[in-house]
Structure 1
Amino acid sequence: MRDLSYLFVMTYGRSGSTLLSGLLNAQPGWLIRGENHDAVHHLYDFHRAMERASEAGPTDALRMRTHPWFGAADYPRRKALAKTRRLVLDTVLRPKEDTRVTGFKEIRWYQPDLPEYVAWLREVFPGARFLVNTRDHADVLKSKWWADGDKSDQLAGIERRILDVADDLGDAAYRVHYDEYVADPSTLAAMYAWLGEPYDEEQVRATMAVRHST
């Protein structure tokens, strides 16, 4: 398996994250895919279900053909993590020959098991980093995506959970704010430094000049 670096964009709907993905993908060797309807979280659910099954009783008992959980004790955890990485790489990320950094952006980081899911992602994708994108809530809530009733508390709660997880990740996470970098692209220089990539303001402005979904 090729030596790749991984980055995942954590955000919520209508935060301007598609533009952020465009900025990342403008870097040579970067391939950050778009949303996958939280498909990877379903793989986490599978993994956790199998782990729980493997703990359904004493190991020797779970290996008996007469046990209702026969075979569950021998769930190959490390192999499952490696196979999951291969599956996501082959079907979701699909890195190209020149890809150095890959990952995806997702807006569905509102699960109650978010800390555990992120910890699992870091096991599946060693060295993974997480880029958090936020935006002024008043502008986010103007979108039809959030238009069904007053969802200000819901949005604030989602952002808080994301930021709490990011805080726990330390240097493996970084936060940018859409309104700030759109108003002044130079504020992204620190993000590029964190990414280990050169900051090219001309390239950044050229990318921003192209319409992206926000």
Structure 2
Amino acid sequence: MPSAGVRTRLGRLFPRAARLRELEEHNRRLSHRLRRLQRRELNRSRPDLGYVFVMTYGRSGSTLVQGLLNAIPGYLIRGENHNVMRSLFEFHRRGVADSTRPGGRRVTQPWFGARGFPAEKSIENIRALALQTILRPGPRTRVTGYKEIRWPAADLPDYVAFLREVFPGARFVVNTRDLEAVSRSQWWAEDESSHDRLADIEAAILAVAEELGPAAYRIHYDDYVADPEVLRGLFEWLGEPWDAELVRATLAVKHSY
């Protein structure tokens, strides 16, 4: 049986060990929380990021374009997302529109508070939300964005202007394909009017691309599949070094369905 002195020393030792374990666990939790806050802040601001979006329609080879862009070191281009940014566009547009309604300054008025809609803060928080949930760039990501096949033709110029406000300096790769071939592909083949619908969608996209000027670059699936060298212009527009071997290797991999 341990002597009284030994028991005293053990009694002093073990509480210290237990306390040490508590402190280590507390530090671990604090470190984890700090890393989360750092990642959140990194994604909230990231003034270093460039933004590229692929604007097209379904069955145009857009997933292949997504693969080509992601092959560039530092690029993280996500896939389509059912155009979820459209809902945020509607939210922001409605908030801005309602802020100009007459009245709304007193609690007795039906639109009380509408005039205080903070448009700049709305854009900042939409950017933070998109970065943290849709794009999720990594610490080594230089350029991020996504490809989307759902672009509403009715107010497309306004929507694209909104995206450029949310994502400063955003650029758009406009991908097209022979519409006759597209209209016979997958779900388009089930719609007798698909060719006309596709023509309208493409016309709207190309019109916006024309307005964007140097912020947009057009590529055509049939051209770059036949001759990958035509993509050299895309890389120059992006400001990235041309890598013919990388491009050919990416084109050789099956993308999409």
TM range (shorter): over 0.9
Within 1, Cα distance between the matches of 2:187 and 2:106? 51
Within 2, Cα distance between the matches of 1:177 and 1:110? 21
Matching residue's letter, 2:153: Q
Name 1:207's counterpart in structure 2.
250
Name 1:87's counterpart in structure 2.
129
Within 2, Cα distance between the matches of 1:119 and 1:212? 30
Task: Tell me the matched-pair count.
Answer: 211
Q: How does 1:94-133 map to 2 (within 5 A)?
A: 94-133=136-175
CA positional deviation for 1:95: 0.3
Matching residue's letter, 2:151: W
The answer to whether the Cα contact below 8 Å between 1:13 and 1:145 also exists between their aligned partners in 2 is no
Q: TM-score if structure 1 supplies the norm length?
A: 0.96
1:134 to 173, 176, 199: 176
The answer to whether the Cα contact below 8 Å between 1:192 and 1:199 also exists between their aligned partners in 2 is yes
Name 1:12's counterpart in structure 2.
57
Q: Which one is further off, 137-146 or 115-124?
A: 137-146
CA positional deviation for 1:56: 1.7
Within 2, Cα distance between the matches of 1:111 and 1:44? 14
Q: Which one is further off, 18-27 or 103-112?
A: 103-112
Name 2:204's counterpart in structure 1.
161
Within 1, Cα distance between the matches of 2:248 and 2:153? 35
Name 1:45's counterpart in structure 2.
90
- Structure 1: unaligned runs, 5 residues or longer: none
Within 2, Cα distance between the matches of 1:175 and 1:116? 20
Matching residue's letter, 1:103: G
Matching residue's letter, 2:149: I
- Structure 2: unaligned runs, 5 residues or longer: 1-44
Within 1, Cα distance between the matches of 2:184 and 2:256? 14
CA positional deviation for 1:110: 2.8
> Secondary structure of 1:9's match?
strand
Within 2, Cα distance between the matches of 1:32 and 1:144? 24
- Taking only aligned residues, the RMSD between alpha carbons, in angstroms, comes to 0.9
CA positional deviation for 1:52: 1.6
Name 1:33's counterpart in structure 2.
78
Name 1:185's counterpart in structure 2.
228
The answer to whether the Cα contact below 8 Å between 1:31 and 1:102 also exists between their aligned partners in 2 is yes
The answer to which structure has the higher helix fraction is 2
CA positional deviation for 1:34: 0.4
The answer to whether the Cα contact below 8 Å between 2:153 and 2:205 also exists between their aligned partners in 1 is no
Within 2, Cα distance between the matches of 1:72 and 1:150? 43
Structure showing greater radius of gyration is 2
CA positional deviation for 1:142: 1.2
CA positional deviation for 1:51: 1.2
CA positional deviation for 1:137: 0.7
* Higher-RCO chain (CA-CA 8 Å, sequence separation at least 6): 1
- Describe the superposition over 1:12-52 as per-residue Cα deviations: whole angstroms up to 9, x where unpaired: 00000100110000000000000010100110011111112
Name 2:13's counterpart in structure 1.
none
Matching residue's letter, 1:199: W
Q: Which one is further off, 106-115 or 7-16?
A: 106-115
> Secondary structure of 2:234's match?
helix
